[in-house]
Amino acid sequence: MRDSWRHFIAEFVGIFALVFVGGASIMATSAHTESPLLAVAVAHGLILSIMVTATMRISGHLNPAVTIGFLVTRRIEPMMGMLYIVAQLLGALLGAYALKGLFPHDVAMATRLGGQALAMDVSFTQGVFAEAIATFFLVFAVFGTAVDPHAPKVGGFAIGLTVAADILAIGPLTGASMNPARSLGPAVASGQYEAQGVYWIGPLLGGIAAALLYDTLFLRRGKEPASHGPVEPRA
């Protein structure tokens, strides 16, 4: 029981920090910064790097799309996976309500408490596709730097950089959620649920695809046959 609480609290605190810092960066820079997209990307990348590194010894998912990826590759028990997702959703909700209590009402509503929305010329299908691609990169980075036992030991740095890069790439199109909990918390707190399907369908599809690909193709199941030889770059 104590171990379950440790996992729950780690996921709760991590996603709370992501929603709070990420949402605050959107709200604070929306009208006062010449390059708000860059500022938002950096804020999300930094806080995710810190929180993944701080929690990865215990959990380090901080995203239902990551947890579902672990579930489909059988790297987490179903009950523990559900515990993670509940913690993520509750942490995101509390983070959004904390923002609502701190920022002026007009700013909070104008920015959806840092939540995401589709650009006017982006369709539902395009939004799903963009979020799926961005989340594929994110979960691929998670498996390639945190799950793979032979991965470089860089903590959450590469994961945070991936999120920052994704925000710079598709932020103007969808807001670059890559995280259903990250979108749902502000939506509930602000009462604005526009295109929530995009922020569930896209990230879950992209996360599952990345997890299955990396788990099937790159993770070793045993000792490599000697006939394979060393993997070295060609001259």
In a domain, 223, yes or no: no
Residue pLDDT tens, the chain, 235 long:
568 899 999 999 999 999 999 999 999 987 676 679 999 999 999 999 999 999 999 999 999 999 999 999 999 999 999 999 999 999 999 999 999 999 999 998 899 999 999 999 999 999 999 999 999 999 999 999 999 988 888 889 999 999 999 999 999 999 999 999 999 999 999 999 989 999 999 999 999 999 999 999 998 665 544 543 444 444 4
In a domain, 152, yes or no: yes
Residues in contact with 7: Cβ distance below 8 Å, sequence separation at least 6, in sequence order = 58, 59, 80, 83, 84, 87
CATH number at residue 193: 1.20.1080.10
In a domain, 94, yes or no: yes
How far is residue 28's CA from residue 3's CA, in Å, rounded to a whole number? 37
In a domain, 234, yes or no: no
In a domain, 229, yes or no: no
How far is residue 60's CA from residue 20's CA, in Å, rounded to a whole number? 17
How does DSSP classify residue 146?
A: I
In a domain, 187, yes or no: yes
Count of domains forming the chain: 1
Query: For 30, how many CA atoms within 13 A lie in the half-sphere containing its CB?
Result: 18
In a domain, 235, yes or no: no
In a domain, 222, yes or no: no
What is the residue range of 66's domain? Answer: 2-217
Residue type, 104: P
